[in-house]
A and B are shown apart, each in its own frame.
Chain A
Amino acid sequence: MQVSSIELDSVSKRFGSVEVISELSLTIHSGEFIAFLGPSGCGKSTLLRMIAGLETVDGGEIRIGGERVDNLPPGARGVAMVFQHYALYPHMTVADNLAFGLRNIGTPKDEIARRIEEAARILEIGHLLARKPGQLSGGQRQRVAIGRALVKDPKAYLFDEPLSNLDAALRVRTRVELARLHQQTRATTIFVTHDQVEAMTLASRIVVMNARKVEQVGSPMEIYGRPATEFVARFVGSPAMNFLPVQIRDRGGLATAALGDGSIVETDVPLAGLPSGGELRVGVRAEAIHVREDGSVPGRVEVIERLGDRTHLHVRLMDGSTLIAEDKGFSRIQPGDTVHLAFEGATAHLFDAAGLAYHARQ
């Protein structure tokens, strides 16, 4: 097993006059499972393809295992990629698909056979080896695509939205299998996705990207619990975090936020770091807003989404703003009801006009 780190050193990329990635630096540790997360067009796939050698690099360096690779052809970089649409060779059998790359570097026949056998055993595709991709189901093609990466024993695995073409049930199953595979191989893995659940469940670290720049790099819980920016806060977590404009008051060095209707949320955010002027908003996730008889914020329920284990309430507050609160699974609340909401101030964040986040001390 040849596991390698990947270093990006102020990497830049332009398409024509548009800079799609600018001076991006990132170190992916050996054996790490990292996810590039962001909406489509954020540059995450471009970044992955630059590492693979499928896009030219306009500035900076890429090193794999300490060796500079940004001028090497894709094949010489020692990485394997699983494509969004699998990109299996349609006219070759599964076995030939797996063998093609090994043959191209002159691997001995018996070694190729041994590796195919081993990959087929791991991925349970032994019975498919003589078939062509056209005769396989989506899930089977996915396994073959992973197998094609596996046999190469690459320095790193690159996944480009590999689950987006599977149906919901299969996607969840494959996700678990990928997690298991990584736990066992401990191979350096980069996983590009726009699905926050995939990123949260699979990755040990997540790189959240938006509009061609990195918003935050951190563990799943850091990203979820202490989002660096409003974008991250809105993009990660479902339903999206609630944002309400507030006035700040001092509460012994901590910020107390006053909502538009006059009710207050006692946050644990230190007052010291906050910007003095400008508008601030409080950010609270639905799960931190409860329906309680003694709740201080009144509002009218407009829409109810029942998810079984919990219930999301779309509530309009007295000042006209809306938010999403959470109630238990068997909520008796009906649309049109007036509810009283209580905010968990300890998990609330503050955001300035530029979208920068301020959190409670850890």
Chain B
Amino acid sequence: MTDVTLSSARPVAAKRPGGASIGPRWTNALFVAPYMVFYVLLLVYPLFKGIWMSLLQSDMFDDTSKFSGLANYYRLFNDKVFIGTVWNTVLFVVMTVPVFVVIGLLLALALNRSDRTAAALRAIFFGTSVLSVTIVTIIWKMMYMPGNGAIASVMRYFGLDPIAFTTTASLALPAIAITTIWWIIGLPMMLFLAALQQIPGELYEAAALDNASRARSFWSITLPSIRRTMLVVVIYEIVAQFQLFGQAQLLTQGGPNNASRPIVQFIYEQGFRSWNLGYAAAASEILFVIMAVAALAQFFASRKRVEE
């Protein structure tokens, strides 16, 4: 650094400088305004409009509707089909969520390695998640079909009578559950993988020096370290599986005899097949409440356990 003469031969500023200031300015709200327009018009407004609609009785003939208080809700609680869909949905959640947690964690544990084989296997298990529900159901119809399906063929090969999965009342929902697990097991696996990679390697090395077995390391180091992710996965899967729709609608059409009809399909059919909009809106509010309660309950239960 020599010969410092920073001469200013010409005036610096051609215009009066004036950049951004700190502190609150109402013009700063312009950044969030565009999103807020969509948020208010297409989320907040429909949310309240939906609640309002659930209190209306619509008349299909003259296209009017009148306020009917909680009549739609009263009707729903006495509607055997609706109650059935609630049970189906709860049953489906109970069937799938533990599997997502256990298999997702097992896969993550097995594939938490840095070699190419593990990367390829991760890609396989996660890859199915990017397919749309309609492609997934086409693929699995070919598995389940009683006559020509892959599973039926295998059973016949072993001299067994093929089972009609999607048209047997007790098997329809499990069939949907298997398809769903095949479809999106990759997400919980990835979530667990990310959590496992956060655990410092020194912990396992210290445990190995302390003569801890693989199982011991898992119970004492791995599990406690991923409790938070476990909670995230459980809540996420509960909320997601409550929204079951496409797989059921396309694989079993909710049948046989409503045995696999979930709440969302009920809402869809009441709203857009029978055009009972108020009735469908009321059902959607109940779904909203169930999901919120399930997630909250799980959240508080787990938080208590974590704190202990």
Further contacts, 10 of them, CB under 8 A, given A1-B7, A74-B19, A78-B17: A55-B22, A56-B23, A105-B17, A106-B13, A108-B10, A119-B6, A122-B1, A124-B1, A181-B4, A184-B5
- What's the interface size class on B, roughly? 20 to 34
Check A165 for interface membership: any CB of B closer than 8 A.
Answer: no
Query: Would you list 18 pairs from A and B whose C-beta atoms are within 8 A, ordered by A residue?
Result: A1-B6, A74-B22, A76-B16, A76-B17, A76-B19, A78-B17, A104-B19, A105-B12, A105-B14, A107-B13, A108-B10, A111-B10, A114-B9, A115-B6, A119-B6, A122-B1, A150-B6, A153-B12
* Interface residues of B, Cβ cutoff 8 Å to A: 1, 3-10, 12-23
Is A122 in contact with B22, judged by CB distance below 8 angstroms?
no
Is B19 in contact with A123, judged by CB distance below 8 angstroms?
no
CA distance A167 to B257 in the complex (A): 76
Check A299 for interface membership: any CB of B closer than 8 A.
Answer: no
Complex A-B, nearest 5 residue pairs according to Cβ-Cβ distance, in ascending order: A75-B19, A184-B4, A73-B21, A106-B14, A105-B13
The digit string for A99-114, where 1 denotes a CB below 8 A from any CB of B, is 0001011111001001
Residue of A nearest to B24 (CB): A56
User: Within the complex, which residue of B4, B12, B14 is in contact with A185, where a contact is CB–CB below 8 Å?
Assistant: B4
CA distance A177 to B2 in the complex (A): 10
Is B6 in contact with A185, judged by CB distance below 8 angstroms?
yes
CB distance from B17 to the nearest CB of A (A): 5
CA distance A181 to B3 in the complex (A): 10
CB distance from A221 to the nearest CB of B (A): 26
Interface of A is mostly: helix
CA distance A122 to B2 in the complex (A): 6
* Interface residues of A, Cβ cutoff 8 Å to B: 1-2, 53-56, 73-76, 78, 102, 104-108, 111, 114-115, 118-119, 121-124, 150, 152-153, 177, 180-181, 184-185
User: Within the complex, which residue of A2, A106, A114, A152 is in contact with B15, where a contact is CB–CB below 8 Å?
Assistant: A106
Residue of B nearest to A111 (CB): B10
Is A177 in contact with B1, judged by CB distance below 8 angstroms?
yes
CB distance from A308 to the nearest CB of B (A): 30
Is A105 in contact with B6, judged by CB distance below 8 angstroms?
no
CA distance A78 to B13 in the complex (A): 10
Chain B CB within 10 A, most for which of A2, A78, A107: A107
CA distance A7 to B20 in the complex (A): 23
Is B23 in contact with A1, judged by CB distance below 8 angstroms?
no
User: Within the complex, which residue of B3, B8, B15, B20 is in contact with A105, where a contact is CB–CB below 8 Å?
Assistant: B15
CA distance A105 to B19 in the complex (A): 9
CA distance A55 to B23 in the complex (A): 8
